[in-house]
Amino acid sequence: MAVFTEVTSLDAAALLTTLELGELVELKGISGGIENTNYFLTSAQGGTQRRHVLTLFERLSFEQLPFYLHLMQHLAAHGIPVPNPVATPQGEILLKVKGKPAALVNRLSGHSELAPTTDHCAQVGAMLARMHLAGRDYPRHQPNLRGLPWWNETVPVVLPYMDAEQAQLLRSELAYQNHVAASAAYAALPRGPVHADLFRDNVMFDNGHLSGFFDFYFAGVDTWLFDLAVCLNDWCIDLPTGAHDGERAQAFVAAYQSVRPLEAAERQLLPAMLRAGALRFWVSRLWDFHLPREASMLKPHDPTHFERVLRERVERPVPVVALEPVAA
Ligand SMILES: Nc1ncnc2c1ncn2[C@@H]1O[C@H](COP(=O)(O)OP(=O)(O)OP(=O)(O)O)[C@@H](O)[C@H]1O
Ligand SMILES: N[C@@H](CCO)C(=O)O
């Protein structure tokens, strides 16, 4: 279930009045999702119906939300298909519903593609690069809150739940990532706002065409290569083994590079960032699994999946040349 806070038709109609969006046609709770309260909401004005998603934020505060909501607005204004928050006549996009921070965004058409083909991967790769470029002049700054400092803080907290082999892998990988982060190549990586959680379930396709990226609530400023690695670790691996899928990865990276070719430092550090992306989600899943938040609404994802992906990335590193067409 993903309606943690009940919104009535009266609440929704009042919101539409504030936003000058006309009448309420339909309000329907969304069952997917585990973090927030989400409703599909249809409004009508002058014979035109509009489809929206109303989100009441259950985890993020009024202070934290402007970075994410303004990023979505910025990307939408730059032609990237992402949910665009509706503003009040005074220009405010962070709303309050039932005392909770809230936003009303346009509803993306289509559905998530949970068994992607090379064509789906290519579409996501090209749009990811376009999104990175579109974010370059976004003026707000917030680091990736699930980046290296968080791994350094959280690995010691989850270590007591690990067996000796897992603990050894976590320790050595963390040491490796700290070493990478201190390198000249890492300092040279281009960076900007990244989605940082662009898994298969956060992208919509409509009739085979990418119709949008959503769920920007882990976004932050980090290296573009990290964002690419997070995607390759989800879109271009075999489920459930976690093995790398060369064909899908090639399609993804070629499409990304058709918009923004990778720089020398990025080419060098791709294998290291694939490991970083796997570590990030292994640690967050371990944390959610072993230390559920008080009154948690989370049904934790399986941590062992990303342990497998990390082992794959360590044992069978994939250099960028393996993902590029062989020169004639
Ligand atoms: N802008 C949108 N357009 C269309 N559908 C959306 C949109 N936002 C959310 N949804 C639908 O609502 C579902 C739940 O949203 P989401 O995945 O963001 O949940 P959440 O609880 O906010 O976050 P989490 O992914 O962490 O569980 C999605 O799977 C999707 O089907
Ligand atoms: N994509 C994350 C969940 C947080 O949105 C995971 O699979 O662990």
- The segments of the chain whose pLDDT lies below 50 read 1, 295-296
pLDDT at residue 1, rounded to an integer: 47
Ligand 1 centre distance from Cα of residue 33 (Å): 6
Indicate the pTM of the whole model.
Answer: 0.96
Distance of CA 239 to the CA centre of its chain: 19
Q: What are the pocket residues of ligand 2 if the criterion is a CB atom closer than 6 Å to any ligand atom? A: 197, 199, 281, 284-285, 301
pLDDT digits (tens, 9 = 90+) for 231-290: 999 999 999 899 999 999 999 999 999 999 999 999 999 999 999 999 999 999 999 999
Nearest ligand 2 atom, CA 234: 7
Q: Is-cis flag, bond preceding 240, omega within 30?
A: yes
ipTM given for this complex = 0.94
Largest separation between any pair of C-alpha atoms in the chain: 66
pLDDT at residue 295, rounded to an integer: 45
Q: Ligand 1: does its nearest atom lie under 6 Å from the Cβ of 31?
A: no
pLDDT at residue 4, rounded to an integer: 87
> Residue 37: beta bridge partners?
56
Ligand 1 centre distance from Cα of residue 177 (Å): 31
pLDDT digits (tens, 9 = 90+) for 165-191: 999 999 999 999 999 999 999 999 999
All domains in the chain, ordered by first residue: 9-106 (3.30.200.20), 118-323 (3.90.1200.10)
